[in-house]
Amino acid sequence: MAAIRKLLDGIYLAGGFIGAISLVIILVLVVLQMVARWVGEVAPGIPEYAGYFMASSAFMAFAYALNKGAHIRVGLLLQALGDSRKWAEIWCFLIGGGLSVYFAYYAIKTVYWSYKLNDISQGQDATPIWIPQLSMAVGSVLLAIAMLDHLIQLIFTGKHNIDADTLDSHAE
């Protein structure tokens, strides 16, 4: 079990790292766009790519953020439930897991159909749209795995695997 835990935490960390790198790429693209304007050049497609990387930064980091307790939770309500807290958290992870699996399914389906239909972006870049959609699909699959991971941990061990230090600091 420790090997699986280490693997999952590593996958979540990799997603967070890719999300952070995507933010740095957005910064670089914005600076390139500014420099291009200052020197009188046109940099076609940069706004579109910045948008693609914005989606990547969010979706790829969702699972890592969940694992670190950075998602919004109703901590005061959960603390007030006392012994019933476990059941409320199971209910929340069931709903969140179901919704994230549903979204991941349709994100994958969207990538598939964009690829199959050879759909391209409407901007100047004319990028095959399945390429930027891929980060959304991968990120949503990671979030679904993380939700189900925490649900299973909570059911079998009585505790989820969300970083408790982060949760405690948000509760104060």
The backbone region for 73, taken as left when phi is positive above 0, alpha when psi lies in -120 to 50, beta otherwise, is beta
- What was the pLDDT predicted at 84? 81
**Interval 112-130: pLDDT, tens:** 999 999 999 887 788 999 9
Note down the domain range covering 17: 2-171
Low-confidence ranges of the chain (pLDDT < 50): 166-167, 169-172
- What was the pLDDT predicted at 160? 84
**Interval 132-162: pLDDT, tens:** 999 999 999 999 999 999 999 999 988 887 8
Chain-centroid distance of CA 123 in Å reads 25
Question: What's the domain count of the chain?
Answer: 1
The structure's pTM equals 0.86
